[in-house]
Chain A
Amino acid sequence: NAGVTQTPKFQVLKTGQSMTLQCAQDMNHNSMYWYRQDPGMGLRLIYYSASEGTTDKGEVPNGYNVSRLNKREFSLRLESAAPSQTSVYFCASTDGSPYEQYFGPGTRLTVT
C-alpha cells in the first residue's frame, strides 16, 4: 500500500495563476482532509470530506475549492493564487478510527 500520495511535491506559481493539488489514498478510507502548515501556526484545516459526495469548510477555506472525485481522491484547487497561500499543504485520510489520521508527504507551494 502506498498510503496517502500527493502531487506535485513542489510548485511555484505566480500571483493570479491557478492550480490543483492532487491527493489519493489506497486504504479505502471514508474521510479525507486538506491542511496547510505555516511556520509557527501549526496545521490548519482548509476543507474536509467526511464521506464520498460530501465536503465541508474547515478553519481557513477562503481562496480554495475542493472536489471529492471518488472515494480515493480529494483535490484542492487554488483559482487565483496569492502570496498568502505560500505554504506546505498536507492531505490526510482516516477510516473513522478514533485515533489516527494518515498524512501524505506534503506539497510545498510558493506563490510569487
Chain B
Amino acid sequence: GEDVEQSLFLSVREGDSSVINCTYTDSSSTYLYWYKQEPGAGLQLLTYIFSNMDMKQDQRLTVLLNKKDKHLSLRIADTQTGDSAIYFCAESLSGYSTLTFGKGTMLLVSP
C-alpha cells in the first residue's frame, strides 16, 4: 500500500536554506507533490515532479527525487518568515487517482 513519511518539524533562520525530506513506499508512484498550508487555510500546491525526473527547479524551490531510495526533498533557498507553514508531501499513482499525503512538516522561520 501507499505510505508517505515526513519529519514533523524544522526550524531555520531567515536567509538560510531549508530542506524538507519525504520518503514514500510505493514504487509505482507516478506523480509526487509538495503542498503548503498556511495557518487557518487550506492546502495550496507548491510544486510537483513526475517520476521520470530527478530534479525540478522553480525560483527559490528545488525538488530532488531519488527513485532508488524512494526519497523526495524540497529545498527552499533564502527562506523568509512568510515561508513559515506546514509542508505536505503527497504521491499519486496516476494523474487521475487520489492523493496520499504525509503527516506534514511544520517549518518555523525565525528572524
Q: What 17 additional pairs, Cβ within 8 angstroms, besides A42-B88, A92-B43, A103-B43?
A: A41-B103, A42-B101, A45-B99, A50-B96, A92-B42, A96-B95, A98-B31, A98-B48, A98-B95, A99-B45, A99-B95, A100-B48, A103-B42, A103-B44, A105-B42, A106-B40, A106-B41
Cα-based distance from A104 to B68 in the complex (angstroms): 35
B102-A42 in contact (CB<8A): yes
Cβ-defined contact, A98 with B8, below 8 A: no
Q: A48 contacts the other chain (Cβ, under 8 Å)?
A: yes
| B30 interface contact, C-beta 8 A | yes
15 pairs, CB–CB < 8 Å, chain A vs chain B:
A33-B98, A40-B8, A42-B104, A45-B99, A48-B98, A90-B43, A96-B95, A98-B31, A98-B48, A98-B95, A98-B96, A100-B48, A105-B40, A105-B42, A106-B40
Give the residues in chain A near B99, CB-CB below 8 Å.
45, 101
A43 beta carbon closer than 8 Å to chain B: yes
Q: Interface on chain A toward B: helix, strand, loop, or mixed SS?
A: loop
- For A105, the chain B residues whose CB sits under 8 A away are 40-42
**A binding-site residues for B, Cβ under 8 Å:** 4, 31, 33, 40-45, 48, 50, 58, 90, 92, 96-101, 103-106
Q: What's the Cα separation between A44 and B103 when bound, in Å?
A: 9
Contact indicator per residue, chain B 17-53, by CB within 8 Å of chain A (1) or not (0): 0000000000000110100000011111100101000
Q: Which B residue's beta carbon lies closest to that of A91? A: B42
A13 to chain B, nearest CB (A): 21
